[in-house]
Amino acid sequence: ENPMGGLCSSESGDPLEAEMNRKIQDRIGADRKKEEEVHKMLLLGAGESGKSTLFKQMQLIYGRDAFPEEERAEYTPVIYANIL
């Protein structure tokens, strides 16, 4: 008998339980890795100080789908008109 609390022991004789434990540990590791990729930013300021504008600019510049193809197609003529 284990005096240190054998209920939490990772050494189990049941292979099904060991496989479940491995899957859970893998999922925890994957979730941790995914969480490390998330960057959080707290924007503080008075009303009308540009917090939403800054947030939108950050999304446009650094977001995964920064400029979807449809949106690029919509703005292309406007950009060309302003250049020429």
Tens digit of each residue's pLDDT, the chain (84 residues): 445 555 555 555 788 999 999 999 999 999 999 888 877 878 888 988 888 888 888 887 777 767 777 887 888 888 888 886
Residue 30: the pLDDT is 92
Return the exposure string of 7-16: e unless at least 16 CB atoms fall within 10 Å of the residue's CB, then b.
Answer: eeeeeeeeee
The answer to pTM > 0.95 is no
Token pair in block for residue 56: 């939108």
